[in-house]
Amino acid sequence: MQLLSGFSTWSTEEKLGWVLDEWMKRSGADSCSGVREEMLSWMKSFWHVNAPTQEIFRNFSENNLSNFFLPYGVVPNFLLNDRMYIVPVVTEESSVVAALSKSAKFWAEHGGFHARVLGTEKLGQIHFYSRIPASEMQKVFDAALPALKEAAVPLLSRMKQRGGGITKIDLLDKTTEEPGYYQIRVGFTTADAMGANLINSVLEEMAQALKEFVGCETGSNVDIIMAILSNYTPNCLVESWVSCPALSLTKHTHLGERFVERFLKAVRIAEIDVGRAVTHNKGIYNGIDAVILATGNDFRAVEAQGHAYASSSPESPAGYRSLSKASVDEQGIFHFCLKIPLTLGTVGGITAVHPLAKFSLQLLGNPSAAELMQVVASVGLAQNFAAIQSLITTGIQQGHMRMHIYNMAKQLGASPEEILALRRAIGTDTVTHSRVQYILEEIRARRGKDP
């Protein structure tokens, strides 16, 4: 087996050329047919027309060949804390934006979304092994603490000016779970930055300082295994909620009074059944990830911390559960709320570099990270409301498949005129792949007969 070496150092043209040669071999394309040249210009057609902008995209990650497009859209009418937002969203999933827009409009007419930040602390961990017994380690740690804090000072000076810094440094004795294993847990606030790079740099400096201090002072060795932030952030938390008289919801769908009753049951099921809870929460992240992507934030971190919280928060002692809750109080008021951890940034990372991420933040009014947390959580709640509403009334396939007509028709090689005719012919009927195929064949047959 021959392995490539130095691939990342090749120019984009060289990488693209090599990949297309491989693609030719693997796809069985005819090497004399000019396909390679066609593919080359096709791959390049996704490059940004403006060379400096393409250069920005190219530098986001290694081994870059081209760009991968996703639709960028907006959700208007998003009323949150008495302020009207236009929320930018990036998603490939049909019907997510339509559902979100419908939910946003409904709630704008019923008091809007409300949100508040409950905490902004992020965590970092230094994992190490030592022969120093647990009975002595706390004393050693206390003595090392000034050196650890000192090591962080140069890196944190700018963050301190912006109101961030270290909130706590604790030693955790893990030796009962694993002989010799200790952990230093560091709390941070990072103002408007997501702060991952800063946190990791501080942790690495502290780890080095710990190693040196313990070596010099005790002659004992500390084996630093790793120093890295934790994506478990139960103290970087935001809460969003909506409420309105339950009676207002009875007019909302054909279910009348049964709507609220069924809605509460749907949420209850997600509180007690893990199979449903995961899907319920996935629906929440359909909305959340769309804003996270549009604003250049880290959706992997946000998903990881959310699902961890769903299985280990004080409200979920029995394991993974729904992140949202619904109830109707004695006054007949319907309440629907979502509490989730979100580590977001509105400065740093790619937020100012990706042209559309920058635009998204401007469209949101250049929010602080705390304000963005409230927007994102409320979008998650709006999406969850929309999903449950569909599920307990028509089922989601009706709206979802209607939005999917274009993709199905495209797969069947339909032209724009055929897609238009297809949409008209389907009307409000149930959409299935076979039905789309059948109607398209009919359209084509009819056209074939036309003079």
Residue 407 in the binding site for ligand MEV (CB under 6 A): no
Total residues interacting with ligand MEV, rule: CB under 6 A: 9
Catalytic residue among 192, 204, 298, 371: 298
283 scored as a contact of ligand MEV (CB under 6 A): yes
Q: Is 110 a catalytic residue?
A: no
The residue type of 235 is N
Q: How far apart are CA 322 and CA 310, in angstroms?
A: 7
Binding residue for ligand MEV, selected from 145, 396, 425, 426, defined by CB under 6 A: 396
Active-site residue identified among 25, 160, 168, 282: 282
Residue 280 makes contact with ligand MEV by CB under 6 A = yes
Taking the least distance from each CB to ligand MEV, the nearer of 286 and 374 is 286
Active site residue 93: yes
Q: Measured from the CB atom, is 91 or 130 closer to ligand MEV?
A: 91
In this structure, are residues 180 and 130 in contact, taking their beta carbons and an 8 Å threshold?
A: yes
Active site residue 400: yes
Min separation Cβ 321 and ligand MEV, Å: 14
Give yes or no for residue 322 binding ligand MEV (CB under 6 A): no
Site for ligand MEV in 346-385 (CB under 6 A): none
- Residues 75-134 binding ligand MEV (CB under 6 A) are 93
Q: Nearest-CA neighbor of 243 among 265, 268, 260, 257?
A: 260
What is the arrangement of strands in the sheet containing 114-117, beginning at the earlier edge strand? Answer: 114-117, 237-245, 333-341, 324-328
For position 286 contacting ligand MEV by CB under 6 A, the verdict is yes
Tokens of 196: 């991952």
Asked about 170 being catalytic, the answer comes back as: no
Q: Is 312 in the site for ligand MEV (CB under 6 A)?
A: no
Minimum distance from residue 390 beta carbon to ligand MEV (Å): 7
- Residue placing its CB nearer to ligand MEV in the complex, 93 or 212: 93
The helix (H) or strand (E) run that includes residue 194 is: none
Minimum CB–partner distance for residue 383 and ligand MEV (Å): 8
Candidates 40, 37, 35; CA nearest to 16 is: 40
Cβ neighbours of residue 347 closer than 8 Å, sequence gap 6 or more: 191, 192, 193, 369
Min separation Cβ 42 and ligand MEV, Å: 30
Nearer to ligand MEV, 100 or 422 (CB): 100
As a whole number of Å, the end-to-end CA separation of the chain is: 60
| Part in contact with ligand MEV (CB under 6 A); list of ranges 37-45, 56-64, 66-74, 281-289 | 281-289
Whole-number Å distance between alpha carbons of 37 and 154: 53
The phi, psi pair for 84, rounded to 5°, reads -90, 120
Q: Does 282 bind ligand MEV (CB under 6 A)?
A: yes
Token code pair at residue 408: 């199905």
Rounded CA separation 159/395 (Å): 49
* Of 207, 387, 414, 431, the one binding ligand MEV by CB under 6 A: 387
From residue 188, give the alpha-carbon distance in Å to each of 68, 169, 229, 230, 232.
Answer: 35, 9, 10, 11, 13
Counting DSSP H helices and E strands in the chain, the numbers are 15, 10
What is the C-alpha to C-alpha distance for residues 413 and 416, in angstroms, rounded to an integer? 10
The catalytically annotated residue of 15, 93, 110, 418 is 93
Residue nearest to ligand MEV (CB): 283
Only one of the segments 161-169, 277-285, 361-369, 433-441 lies at the binding site for ligand MEV (rule: CB under 6 A); that segment is 277-285
Q: Catalytic amino acids?
A: 93, 282, 298, 400
User: Which residue ranges make up the site for ligand MEV (CB under 6 A)?
Assistant: 93, 279-280, 282-283, 286, 387, 391, 396
